[in-house]
Amino acid sequence: MFSTFLVSKDQCLTCNNQVLKELGILQGIFGAEIDRIDGKIVVSHTDEVNREEITAKLLSLGFPERKEEELEADEPSILDALYSLKVKSLKV
């Protein structure tokens, strides 16, 4: 099964590597990917570990999960910024 966690986009690569290493220690997790652009962590796991345990581990590592209402207040992704520039250039 997969669980997706929305986190801050402003984490460093070293922090990301540490998170992947620490998640791998949890029994039942067999993979994870961090998408820094969209601020997502996708964790592949069995039912030996539940979402709450993974959330607690991420929080202990400095990656608190964002709530949906916080997404609008977050900075735009690079793709959003590029799209905005393209739209502005078309209006000229």
Mean pLDDT of 41-46: 95
Q: How confident is the model at residue 73 (pLDDT cuts 50, 70, 90)?
A: very low
Tokens of 61: 């590592």
Residue 11 clears pLDDT 70, i.e. is over it: no
Q: What is the pLDDT of residues 46-64, one digit of tens each?
A: 999 999 999 999 999 888 8
Tokens of 51: 């979402």
Q: Which residues contact 25 (CB under 8 A, 6 or more apart)?
A: none
For residues 56 and 69, the model is more confident at 56
- Domains belonging to the chain, first-starting first, are 2-91 (3.30.70.100)
Q: Following CA atoms 47, 43, 23, 62 in sequence, which dihedral angle do they give, to the nearest 10 degrees?
A: -120
**What is the distance between the alpha carbons of residues 76 and 73, in angstroms, rounded to a whole number?**
9
Backbone φ and ψ of 21, nearest 5°: -65, -45
- Asked whether the beta carbons of 26 and 49 are under 8 A apart, the reply is yes
For residues 68 and 35, the model is more confident at 35
